[in-house]
Chains A and B, each alone.
Chain A
């Protein structure tokens, strides 16, 4: 059984290592500050006891006044999972650091989010539209796209 790790404990661990990164760690998911995402992802991947080496779903949700980027991490070794979230505000040019260096699984998913929701991923090697063509106007999965 893949066990969801206790987010509060993990949140404490991360907060110790990278101060000011954890925004909330309510039951079920862990929300981190988008600025420290790169460090947090490195920490989650390399810390013994966590070792989240396997990124499954990476998606984003448009809550109109902010975007929430969701990462579901799995540790194949310890058979545990964690839902990591980060929030990004503003609709014009939302930017989140890319995690492709840590997990290459994010490569296409970040491109897809950029394509459909218009969130930029800083540090992504090839941030182009994935499903729609270059020059498409707008980002269809935003709630205000008609």
Chain B
């Protein structure tokens, strides 16, 4: 191995790092600034629409973890009435196969991605927790009907373009410096 370039390679590399010193940092400071996630995100907390669910159990068969517990009984006109619809989000792998398999659009993936809980019991989601609420919205994964309501994904690709799609940040809740959360 001979040194034949007289150190020009090192100088080139150092010039590049120097150039990067004056570029904008790519860091997004997460709890303060939040990027918009994909509209199709397979997020935490499945959304379940009780009025659409017929209790057919396709989703339980589709789940490769065997994670969805569905208990029904026959009601009037021999329709299924769901007594229990439960899943343990600690065991869920967010593959989305249950949403894909549901023939009645009664299931959708959630939109949230902050899944930490203080105890394992909280991870088990019951019927009430799975229903739609203000902070529990469905994502457009396999459910294109929700697509329009959701904000555009912020793509890093369009970061510093002029006139293009800018980075969009979700509205900051009270920004506190140094609080970390």
A and B touch in the complex (CB under 8 A): no
Binding site for A on B (CB under 8 A): none
Binding site for B on A (CB under 8 A): none
